[in-house]
Amino acid sequence: MTSPEPIHRIDAQREAQDLRHLLGAANLEVALGDARVRLQCDFWVWGCRYQPAEITFEHPAPPFNRLFLFFGQGGRIRMNGRAYGLRPEVFYLLPEQCPFQATYPAGATLMFLHFSAADQCLHRVFDGEKGLLELDCPGLARLFGEHRQAEWDGELESAAMGAIWRLLTPEIRCGMAARASLMRSFGPLFSVLETTPPARVRIAELAETMGLSPGALARRFERRFGHPLKKFIDARTLQAAQQMLLGSEQPATAIARALGFEDVHYFHHFFRGQTGCTPQEFRRALKHLPGMRAGIAASSEV
């Protein structure tokens, strides 16, 4: 009688290392009723792995969403006390912050994508989901299957955005539409945010635009949107910095100026405080990502 294979536990600190390495970013704007919503995705890790022997991983606090697509054989997931059998050539989304245990059987090939998804209010749209989301879309699955050996590119990015959009439940879409409509009541504030370099945004100036005191604005914003205004501004600044580091060859000094930082040293301090690495370390890491190489992913942790 053979003993069961051990369960490999992946701690949160180990998983969070993936959040230092941005693979790409994309936006999708869609009309929902009378609201226009924007889905913003950051892609962290992409890979394809053939599993020669069965293995089980436990993820107690995943900091990002996972998109799974099996070929050959499916897998098994335990989440919130429920067991799921994952079918081949069907997309499955495992929500962030939702603990799970995954078993990958021998002979299965798994394509996986780690990503974050937020609306224009920077609300993490899948945060709070407690179960597995499923999408049976043969056309998209075939497209992904044809790219098993490919590097991450614009075609895969567009296909991933299409799959993620289809995986949004009606409840998630209603929430996105409600927040988009709510933004209209903060129109002057968001107008300033859209036209001002993010590092130059000041809460006092936003409050004056809205005809409120800084304290009253901060309280109202957090009550309506669910997170502090300062955190929202910092998140927008970081997002812009990462996208510029990813999408251009500009030096960090030029990016700091474009973002509105008067002191490049403060830009470094801000970036390290948000990500744990400097802008240069972040950019260097982009050139050595396993997910950007063609072929089977070297990592066995998905």
Q: Letter for the amino acid at 224?
A: R
pLDDT value at residue 287 = 55
pLDDT value at residue 5 = 64
Q: Is the pLDDT of residue 24 over 90?
A: no
List the structure tokens of 79.
């989440």
Residues 27/273, Cβ–Cβ less than 8 Å: no
pLDDT value at residue 245 = 87
Of 1-10, 104-113, 202-211, 283-292, the least confident: 283-292
pLDDT value at residue 296 = 31
pLDDT value at residue 230 = 95
- Length of the chain in residues, anyone? 302
Q: Is the pLDDT of residue 182 over 90?
A: no
Of the candidates 252, 254, 260, the residue with the CA atom closest to the CA atom of residue 278: 252
Of 4-18, 171-185, 192-206, 222-236, the least confident: 4-18
Q: Is 136 exposed, middle or buried (0-12, 13-18, 19+ CB in 10 A)?
A: exposed
Average of per-residue pLDDT across 129-140 = 95
Q: What is the mean pLDDT of the chain?
A: 88
User: How far, in Å, CA of 197 to CA of 48, rounded?
Assistant: 39
pLDDT value at residue 294 = 32
Can you give the pTM of this predicted structure? Answer: 0.80
Please report, rounded to a whole number, the percentage of residues in the chain having pLDDT higher than 90. Answer: 64
Let me know if the fold of 7-170 is the same as that of 186-286. no
pLDDT value at residue 293 = 35
Average of per-residue pLDDT across 105-111 = 96
> What is the CB neighbour count within 10 angstroms for residue 52?
9
pLDDT value at residue 141 = 96
List the beta bridge partners of residue 68: 92, 112
Q: Is the pLDDT of residue 4 over 70?
A: no
pLDDT value at residue 290 = 42
Report domain 186-286's class. Answer: mainly alpha
Q: Is the pLDDT of residue 107 over 70?
A: yes
Measure Cα distances from 8 to 54, 55, 104 in Å. 12, 8, 12
User: How far, in Å, CA of 89 to CA of 167, rounded?
Assistant: 15
Of the candidates 46, 9, 53, 39, the residue with the CA atom closest to the CA atom of residue 24: 46
Domains of the chain, by residue range, sit at 7-170, 186-286
Handedness of CA 182, 186, 189, 194 (dihedral sign): positive
Average of per-residue pLDDT across 79-108 = 95
Tens of pLDDT along 230-287?
999 999 999 899 888 877 889 999 999 999 999 999 999 999 999 888 999 888 776 5
Residues 67/164, Cβ–Cβ less than 8 Å: yes
Render 128-139 in DSSP notation, one character per residue. Answer: T--S-EEE--HH
Q: Letter for the amino acid at 103?
A: T
> Among all chains, which residue has been given the structure tokens 């973002």?
259
User: How far, in Å, CA of 302 to CA of 259, rounded?
Assistant: 34
Average of per-residue pLDDT across 112-125 = 92
Model confidence band, residue 300 (pLDDT cutoffs 50, 70, 90):
very low
pLDDT value at residue 227 = 87
pLDDT value at residue 8 = 86
> Which of the pair, 208 or 183, is modelled with greater confidence?
208
Report domain 7-170's class. Answer: mainly beta
